[in-house]
Amino acid sequence: MSGETVRPELLTDVLGRARARGATEADGFLIEEQHFSASVRLGQVDTVKHSREQRLSLRVFAGRASAASSTSDLSRASLERVVDEATALARVTAEDPHAGLPRPADLITTVPDLELEDRGGEELTPEAKIELARQAEAAALESDPRIANSEGAECWDRRARYVYATSHGFAHGYATTSFGLSVSPVASANGQMQRDYWYSAARHRAALDDPAAIGRTAARRALRRLGGRKVKTVDVPVVFDPDTAASLVRAIAGAASGPGLYRRASFLLDRLGKRIAAPTVTIVDDGLIPRALGSRPFDGEGLATRSTVVVGEGVLESYLLDSYSARKLGLRSTHHASRDGAGVGVSTTNLILQAGPTPPEELIRSVKSGLYVTELIGFGVNGVTGDYSRGAVGLWIEDGELTYPVEEVTVAGNLLEMFGAIEGIGNDLRLRDRTVSPTLLVGRMVVAGN
Amino acid sequence: MDDLARTSPEHFFSDRFNVTPSLMERLLGASLAGRVDDADIYLEYRVNEELVLEENVVKKASRHVSQGAGVRAQAEARTGYAHTDDISLSNLEEAARQARAIADRASTSGVLAVPSRGRAHDLYTLAEPPIVAALERKLELLRKIDAAARAADPRIAQVIASLASEEIVMLIATASGWTIGDVRPLTRLNVTVIAEENGKREIGSWGGGGRVPFDFFLEDERWTRFAHEAARQAALKLRAVEAPAGTMTVVLGPGWPGILLHEAIGHGLEGDFNRKGVSAFAGRLGQKVASELVTVVDDGTIPNRRGSLNVDDEGTPTGRTVLIDNGVLTGYMQDRLNARLMKMAPTGNGRRESYAHPPMPRMTNTFMLAGQDDPEDIMRSVSNGLYAVTFGGGQVDITSGKFVFSASEAYLIENGRVTAPVKGATLVGNGPDALLRVSRVGHDLKLDEGVGTCGKDGQSVPVGVGLPTIRLDGMTVGGTQV
């Protein structure tokens, strides 16, 4: 997409037409993106995908009533239809005193350059991407004779441009790039097969991990699962590796998000300013980190991104709000609005549970008998009550040592109790995705098996 | 709202975009034929509408249009896929060029695609598709649901009722000279409530739908039942006790618990995983993988069901595939690519989320056939265990075979009787042996209400499941009560 420009006037024309059609105010998003991916399996090219997409999303207000419409067809006739449909729909929705755009004065004025677009060098050719995927998979296959099969490796990149505009005259945009490389090897021994994966993703191509290192990590993860078995049902300490710990952090952010709160459907309702986690726990959402995957200069309503302490030393310091949920709750937006075709929601940026002082090996060493979790599956998280029960894969800890692999078990508890029972935080934080955590030690959970 | 195909898909795309079947065939011939093993062009036009009522008022109304074309070229096991959201001849030519680039990288296998043939079904022609039903009637229904749910229980503090309607017009042309189209209506009504009592809050949810007209929800006051069920679920959870943890006998109720089949065996029997040898079921055709009481089918031909299709997204008419016949593994679900490479017949299971995605083998409606037992007898046969009747989602690791699914409504069974409701518990098991544990199968087969969505490799498609009441011995239940 280099050399092409997004067309903010396309959006401002649509907003103008909405006003002409009787909308009191309106805003919209224009997204243009280009995606390429190449996958390789057992050294052979498997699938190559190429796409170019665009979408215009419009939200109109008729007084305090609103409606949304979107289209991927940016022809004049289609855009006119989008405006007509949205204004017609707005007439049937109810007046809502809390609806409306943020005040124009609150919108961002200078868009910071967060270096979210890799402008350096030549674009990777399809052949180069195939080669990267091949190298990553080869490293996994060569690392051990028990890695004899693979679900493949994939290398992808994505270039996107966003423009946000309001009928009050605001129009700003930014561009991003992202690059990713992942491998899913299959290990087998004694008639059992185990698959695992590893990946690297970054805004700048040079920041991707070495393909061979990704492949070797994926292989190691698959190999250590061989011979997995159930354990007896027991109440023990559970250590979550950084990736599974990050999923717990996401669950906290979900419960701290405005839409669930004003619907009274969150276990963090009425907890602002109260202790919800061990005092060692601090969770920050920082959308301004240069080159980070979750960064964005402004949110889905044009409000400047910032850094928000969600949980500070165990205390719930802030919810995550867009303008609407903030007004509903009698609070101010925290600039976390996200946009999709259906309207406005809330999303985090770079959500980080801050590192502790302890090497992860020491956390494991502190456990007499317990479970080290490396993968969680299923949907057993109740955002209303915090009740938690998910399938787990990992390694059994005995006398502070990782011993045999464990599978076909569940870990269960309640998220508030689990965060309250965090007894150790690793020093192994790495900003490798949008939501990250170091290793976490939770004092007690029920592991169900035999 | 009148912009959809009331004519055939062929006419729709030629009127609107000047793309005719003969043009598509020419494009396939010129760009792709002779140099690849299989190729197709898929055109899609989709309109979605979503209405959400919350706090007693219509909060959200949205309408979305998406359109595009996906061009695919395949040689041996390689796939080139390019898509564009601008359906024009020059873009289609460019997409075809890109798709072919991959297939050209090496000589082809010379194995030609199995030609798609056969008649498309006619499973969901509707006099009035849900997307065109009058907005005011839809809004009226949502308001009535809100009132019904609140009236059902004084503890209901919040009601969110939503109605989603969709229509897809698709047309596919394959390299074997076969062009076929389909018009697919789909609708889903969902009711979610929050119940509050003494500072305790719980959520309840119910819904349903299918490839049915809007009036489906009015028949037999279906909407009232959805509202009452959601309220009942939430109220029940307010008094639920901690779920047990450990191994026990589990009785699954009829209908939606069929998600067990979807996770435990369904994904593992999709052709791609078996061709690659990465499924726990790979190479096990003809082997016993379930109790002889168990027969499981995937059937995309049931009229008006959410998971049904007249033709799949590669143009193959859907069918009824027996996956497990009296305990023996008898079939995989195939798309064209995997059928060709495994030298099997395509089964009409090649599906894609949209034009932006290449097809993969996917399930349609997956269910277990009815057995002989009286469901009451099955319950009485259990001295201590868990009775699970409604589930949230599930997930499987197809390579190790381990799967989980989460019960949202479950009860303890004590001395053959259903007693206290328990909080959400996750059931965990191993696909290749889970169905060997089936010791009783009821005569009460039921299909689900029409709410299922299946995710695979980032693509979501609507699916159905079904199950009679069954008893499973020695399942692991992941509660907190040791």
Burial of A440: CB neighbours in 10 Å, binned 0-12, 13-18, 19+: buried
- How many CB pairs lie under 8 A apart between chains A and B? 256
- Contact between chains at B403 and A186 (C-beta distance less than 8 A): no
The partner residue sitting opposite B404, judged by closest CB among A92, A192, A377, is A377
Same domain, B401 and B459: yes
> With an 8 Å Cβ cutoff, is B246 touching chain A?
yes
Among A29, A45, A268, most B C-beta atoms within 10 A, so best to mutate, is A45
Q: How do residues B57-74 score in pLDDT, each as one tens digit? A: 888 888 899 999 999 988
Q: How do residues B392-442 score in pLDDT, each as one tens digit? A: 889 999 999 999 999 999 999 999 999 999 988 899 999 989 999 999 999
The partner residue sitting opposite B356, judged by closest CB among A53, A67, A391, is A53
Please name the residue that has the structure tokens 């354990």.
A231
> With an 8 Å Cβ cutoff, is B139 touching chain A?
yes
One-letter identity of residue A329: L
Instruction: Give the model's pLDDT for residue B108.
Output: 44
Please say which residue of B188, B221, B238 terminates a domain: B238
Same domain, A212 and A184: yes
One-letter identity of residue A371: L
Mean per-residue pLDDT over chain B, rounded: 91
Same domain, B327 and B203: no
Closest CA to A445 of A355, A334, A370, A391: A370
In a domain, B96, yes or no: yes
Instruction: Give the model's pLDDT for residue B22.
Output: 86
DSSP-H helix ranges across B119-201: 135-152
Cα B76 versus chain centre, distance: 29
Same domain, A248 and A316: yes
Query: How distant, in Å, are the alpha carbons of A132, A208, B238 from that of A199?
Result: 12, 9, 42
For chain A, the distance separating the N- and C-terminal CA atoms, rounded to the nearest angstrom, is: 55
Q: How far apart are CA B425 and CA A262, in angstroms?
A: 27
The model's pTM? 0.94
One-letter identity of residue A403: T
B269, pLDDT greater than 70: yes
Q: How far apart are CA A49 and CA A70, in angstroms?
A: 25
Same domain, A238 and A176: no
Q: How do residues B193-229 score in pLDDT, each as one tens digit? A: 999 999 899 999 999 999 999 999 999 999 999 999 9
Please name the residue that has the structure tokens 């303008």.
A323
Please say which residue of B222, B238, B254 terminates a domain: B238
- What tokens appear for A269 in the block? 């309702």
Q: For residue A30, what are the β-bridge partners?
A: A56, A163
Burial of B244: CB neighbours in 10 Å, binned 0-12, 13-18, 19+: buried
Contacts of A47 in chain B (CB under 8 A): 78-81, 102, 358
- Contact between chains at B277 and A378 (C-beta distance less than 8 A): no
Instruction: Give the model's pLDDT for residue B103.
Output: 64
Task: Please work out, in degrees rounded to the nearest 5, the angle formed at the alpha carbon of residue A61 by the alpha carbons of A55 and A63.
Answer: 175
Domain span at A270: 228-450
The total domain count for chain A is: 2
Find out whether B384 and B248 touch, Cβ atoms under 8 Å.
yes
Find out whether B78 and A45 touch, Cβ atoms under 8 Å.
yes
Please name the residue that has the structure tokens 């593994």.
B329
- What tokens appear for B116 in the block? 């798609």
Same domain, B222 and B249: no
Question: For A89-103, A147-161, B150-164, B450-464, which range has the lowest pLDDT when averaged over its residues?
Answer: A89-103
One-letter identity of residue B44: E
Same domain, A210 and A312: no
C-alpha dihedral sign at B268, B273, B275, B278: negative
Please say which residue of A192, A223, A254 terminates a domain: A223
Domain with residue B116: its CATH number is: 3.30.2290.10
- What tokens appear for B409 in the block? 């409504």
Same domain, A278 and A414: yes
Instruction: Give the model's pLDDT for residue B76.
Output: 84
Same domain, B86 and B135: yes
Residue A48 half-sphere exposure, CB side, CA atoms within 13 Å? 25
Q: For residue A45, what are the β-bridge partners?
A: A40
Closest Cα in chain A, distance from residue B319 (Å): 27
In a domain, A187, yes or no: yes
Domain with residue A203: its CATH number is: 3.30.2290.10
Q: How do residues A338-349 score in pLDDT, each as one tens digit? A: 987 667 899 999
Q: How far apart are CA B298 and CA B452, in angstroms?
A: 14
Instruction: Give the model's pLDDT for residue B286.
Output: 97
Q: How do residues B320-361 score in pLDDT, each as one tens digit? A: 999 999 999 999 999 999 999 999 999 999 999 999 999 999
Q: How far apart are CA A17 and CA A75, in angstroms?
A: 15
- Contact between chains at A389 and B243 (C-beta distance less than 8 A): yes
Among B64, B131, B355, most A C-beta atoms within 10 A, so best to mutate, is B64
In a domain, A3, yes or no: no
> With an 8 Å Cβ cutoff, is B429 touching chain A?
yes
Instruction: Give the model's pLDDT for residue B4.
Output: 61
In a domain, B3, yes or no: no
Same domain, A289 and A374: yes
Instruction: Give the model's pLDDT for residue B115.
Output: 52
In a domain, B119, yes or no: yes
Same domain, B326 and B426: yes
ipTM of predicted complex: 0.91
Question: For B1-5, B245-249, B412-416, which range has the lowest pLDDT when averaged over its residues?
Answer: B1-5
Residue A193 has a CB neighbour count (10 Å cut-off) of: 23
Instruction: Give the model's pLDDT for residue B406.
Output: 92
> With an 8 Å Cβ cutoff, is A194 touching chain B?
yes
Q: For residue B426, what are the β-bridge partners?
A: B406, B478
Instruction: Give the model's pLDDT for residue B104.
Output: 63
Please give the backbone phi and psi of residue B208, each rounded to the nearest 5 degrees, phi first. Answer: 180, 180
Q: What percent of chain B has pLDDT over 70?
A: 94
Same domain, B228 and B250: no
B235, pLDDT greater than 50: yes
> With an 8 Å Cβ cutoff, is A148 touching chain B?
no
Please say which residue of B238, B271, B299 terminates a domain: B238
Closest Cα in chain B, distance from residue A235 (Å): 7
Same domain, A184 and A74: yes
Closest CA to B386 of B407, B413, B409: B413
Q: Which residue of A has its CA nearest to B422?
A: A387
> With an 8 Å Cβ cutoff, is A226 touching chain B?
no
Q: Summarize chain A as % helix, strand, coil (round to 5).
A: 25, 40, 35
In a domain, B4, yes or no: no
- What tokens appear for B90 in the block? 């020059």
The partner residue sitting opposite A195, judged by closest CB among B201, B243, B397, is B397
Same domain, B459 and B419: yes
Same domain, B297 and B227: no
Q: How do residues B97-122 score in pLDDT, each as one tens digit? A: 877 776 665 444 444 445 556 788 99
Q: How do residues A50-89 score in pLDDT, each as one tens digit? A: 888 899 999 999 999 999 999 988 888 889 999 998 998 8
Q: How far apart are CA B66 and CA B88, in angstroms?
A: 15
The partner residue sitting opposite B406, judged by closest CB among A86, A92, A389, is A389
Q: How far apart are CA B332 and CA B346, in angstroms?
A: 10
Same domain, A327 and A342: yes
> With an 8 Å Cβ cutoff, is B346 touching chain A?
no
3-state SS track over A42-69: CCEEEEEEEEEEEEEEEEEEECCEEEEE
Same domain, A303 and A425: yes
In a domain, A209, yes or no: yes
Please say which residue of A223, A245, A270 terminates a domain: A223
> What mean pLDDT comes out for the span B161-186?
93
> With an 8 Å Cβ cutoff, is B136 touching chain A?
yes
> With an 8 Å Cβ cutoff, is A125 touching chain B?
no
B-proximal residues of A, 245-274, CB under 8 Å: 263-265, 269
Res. B16 pLDDT band, cuts 50 70 90? confident
In a domain, A1, yes or no: no
Q: How far apart are CA B59 and CA B53, in angstroms?
A: 6
Instruction: Give the model's pLDDT for residue A262.
Output: 95
> With an 8 Å Cβ cutoff, is A234 touching chain B?
yes
**Helix A211-223 to helix A126-142 angle, to the nearest 10 degrees?**
40
Q: How do residues B362-376 score in pLDDT, each as one tens digit? A: 999 999 999 999 999
The total domain count for chain B is: 2
Q: How far apart are CA A57 and CA A66, in angstroms?
A: 13
Higher pLDDT: B178 or A263? It is A263
The partner residue sitting opposite A410, judged by closest CB among B158, B426, B481, is B426
Same domain, B365 and B434: yes
Please give the backbone phi and psi of residue A227, each rounded to the nearest 5 degrees, phi first. Answer: 85, 15
In a domain, A18, yes or no: yes
In a domain, B1, yes or no: no
In a domain, B467, yes or no: yes
Among B233, B236, B353, B404, most A C-beta atoms within 10 A, so best to mutate, is B404
Please say which residue of A223, A258, A279 terminates a domain: A223
The partner residue sitting opposite B158, judged by closest CB among A41, A52, A264, is A264
In a domain, B437, yes or no: yes
Domain span at B17: 9-238
> With an 8 Å Cβ cutoff, is B277 touching chain A?
yes
- Contact between chains at A149 and B276 (C-beta distance less than 8 A): yes
Task: Please work out, in degrees rounded to the nearest 5, the angle formed at the alpha carbon of residue B428 by the alpha carbons of B423 and B431.
Answer: 145
Same domain, A280 and A207: no
Residue A344, C-beta contacts closer than 8 angstroms, at least 6 positions apart = A59, A300, A301, A322, A323, A324, A337, A338
In a domain, B410, yes or no: yes
Same domain, B397 and B360: yes
Same domain, A206 and A318: no
